[in-house]
Amino acid sequence: MSHIEVPDAEARTRLEGRQFSEARRHGKYLFAGSSSGPWLALHMGMAGSVRIYDEEDGQPDYARLVVAFEGTRRLAFRDPRKFGWAKVVETPDAEIEAHDLGPDALEIERDTFKDRVGGGRGTIKGALLDQSKLAGIGNLWADETLYQTGTAPDAKVNTLGDDDLNDIHTAFTRILNGVCDVDAHYKELPDAWLIHRRETGRACTRCDGEIESMKVAGRTTYYCPNHQGTS
């Protein structure tokens, strides 16, 4: 499955001579541009990254798109696994709307979260991953949130109470901020987190249970059946 998409020559010329004076992030999307537009929109996929370098140091591996600035500075969009994409867009807001993205997960208020997610008939894991409900939570942090709150990943949202949803909101806010605080260097995250033991049979840090996996919402899910249970 590879579908790397980068701007064609015509789209790229729209960026020529322009400045990146602003950057924005919404969910899993990054935007660089200026108030007069256009903007470069980037989605990192599973392993994408952006890297600033000097021309004389040579292009980094897996660079799918390179932005050449005046002088020798360059910005590379690297995407070794080819799940990401880049394109030139008019405004971030138009792109957010086109992808039907919900509010950003780091900014969503508790009551807004409960309005958008609460009462649903699907699983709580599926709801957290649904970028149209809230944008930015992927597989790892959905599992982490449910592990830390003791919630069964396959619990139907409409079986969860107000307190459960409050706890889930508090947890993913703390988790996402924690990941940002260490610039997503996973090894620096707290030892007790699930991220360090996403493997069947590993000891749970919250009880005497063992980690197991199952498919929820089409994704491989690690959890502790002992303290999280299943629905």
CA dihedral angle for residue 172, residue 175, residue 177, residue 178, rounded to 10 degrees: 180
Residue 153, both tokens: 């990943």
CA distance 60 to 75: 10
Write out the binding residues for Zn ion, residues 92-111 only, by CB under 5 A: none
CA distance 74 to 59: 9
Q: What is the 3-state secondary structure (H, E, C) of 128-148?
A: HHCCCCCECCCHHHHHHHHHH
Per the CB < 8 A criterion, the answer to whether 222 and 212 are in contact is yes
CA dihedral angle for residue 67, residue 68, residue 72, residue 77, rounded to 10 degrees: 20
Among 24, 138, 227, 229, binds Zn ion (CB under 5 A): 227
Binding-site size for Zn ion (CB under 5 A) equals 7
Per the CB < 8 A criterion, the answer to whether 150 and 119 are in contact is no
CB 176 to Zn ion: min, Å: 22
Does the footprint of Zn ion cover residue 229 (CB under 5 A)? no
Per the CB < 8 A criterion, the answer to whether 29 and 96 are in contact is yes
CB 145 to Zn ion: min, Å: 15
Does the footprint of Zn ion cover residue 226 (CB under 5 A)? yes
| DSSP assigned state of 70 | S
Helix (H, G, I), strand (E, B), or coil: what is residue 75? strand
Q: Which stretch binds Zn ion (CB under 5 A): 95-103, 105-113, 162-170, 217-225?
A: 217-225
Looking at the Cβ atoms of 106 and 155, the one nearer to Zn ion is 155
Q: Which stretch binds Zn ion (CB under 5 A): 18-26, 37-45, 49-57, 216-224?
A: 216-224
Looking at the Cβ atoms of 182 and 207, the one nearer to Zn ion is 207
Among 63, 134, 165, 224, binds Zn ion (CB under 5 A): 224
Does the footprint of Zn ion cover residue 120 (CB under 5 A)? no
Per the CB < 8 A criterion, the answer to whether 158 and 114 are in contact is no
CB 208 to Zn ion: min, Å: 7
CB 128 to Zn ion: min, Å: 19
Per-residue interface string for the shown chain with Zn ion, residues 174-213, x marking contact by CB under 5 A: ------------------------------x-xx-x----
**Residue ranges binding Zn ion (CB under 5 A):** 204, 206-207, 209, 224, 226-227
